[in-house]
Structure 1
Amino acid sequence: MDVPYESTGRRRQKGRTRAALVAAAHELLAAGESPAVEDAAAIAGISRTTAYRYFPNQRALLLAAYPEIEDGVGLLPVDAPAEAEPRLELVMRSFLDFVVRWEPQLRAQLRLSLEPGAAQPILRGGRAIRWIEEALAPLAETHPHVDIRETAVAIRSATGIESLVWLTDIGGLDRERAAEVLAGSARAILRAALEPTD
């Protein structure tokens, strides 16, 4: 099995070099470009040969540029309300801020996930679904007929980068209005789920 270049010798220096290349990719993505490895190398002041030791192709570089939120971290504050709807509002505000802030990077990941033969969908890690489920957790007591997982999936389907792209590129909305529409979609889906079943 091949040992990644960064895992051998001088790990701290290699970690800094990798971080510089990823930061350069973020900068280029934010400027509306789709950076090749040599583009990131030029911005970071690193030789092309060295850069290709870390990222053998553009796909590997763009995958590394995925914006991260520390795993296991939720979006609800410690003093979150007990009711599901205001909890969802708080989660959606943070989630949509994240989506808009990292839009260029998330668009790049979306493009990669849609490539034929993509080994694994990039945007389906389920973090947002977990955050929404956490917001909806009180429903287990107050509305036991609601399928929390299904409702969270429905809300996520209408509020992520995919929906933002449609609203801005096709619908012609600016980002602020698009975020309002997405938050409204989340509220509407929750309210529909809360309707009593016959």
Structure 2
Amino acid sequence: MRHKLLLSLSILASAICGGQTFGQQCTQANCEEPSMWHYIYYRNTRWPEPFRAQDTMAVLQMFEAQRNNGWKLQNTIGQAMFDARTCQLTDAGEAHIRWILTQAPLDRRSVFVFQADDQATTAKRVEAVQLVISKMIPVGQLPPVYLTDRDAPTSPGSYQTTLQRALSNSIPSPRLTSQGSSGSSGSGSGSSSP
């Protein structure tokens, strides 16, 4: 009984003292909301610390978006990798899928198929890609196949062969200049007369 009385008195005393302390603080204008001036002052004196994390995240998100777009283009099976009549993959298309399945990082092994002008051709392209993937990976989980509206920046092999041959044919044959037309022969005395 005596302990209960002491406990209740101590709780009452702490409440009264705490209330007086709080009242004293409020009379000294410490319990007011900070003014806009305080907010602006502390924001300016601590600049750029509060904004570094936001700036860093903005830059990192931009680089991440660029990285994702680059891998998407790298893993795109474009229009040049399909036969125009049969919608089957060419040898280059199969080689590109093999590279994606074996050489690309594990988290980037997704195949993107460039959409055709109509749904039927697009469906044939996706089916051809899935068939080649299932031949290369007969057992286990297959990588996802997505549609994309951006074609990979490639060109047909026949065009590249023609371009390379034209470049090789346009290189002039090597020529040696005669010694008389080369300017100074380098056998001078090194002194010049004024």
**Scaled by the length of structure 2, what TM-score is found?**
0.25
**Scaled by the length of structure 1, what TM-score is found?**
0.25
Q: Higher helix fraction: Structure 1 or Structure 2?
A: 1
Q: Higher strand fraction: Structure 1 or Structure 2?
A: 2
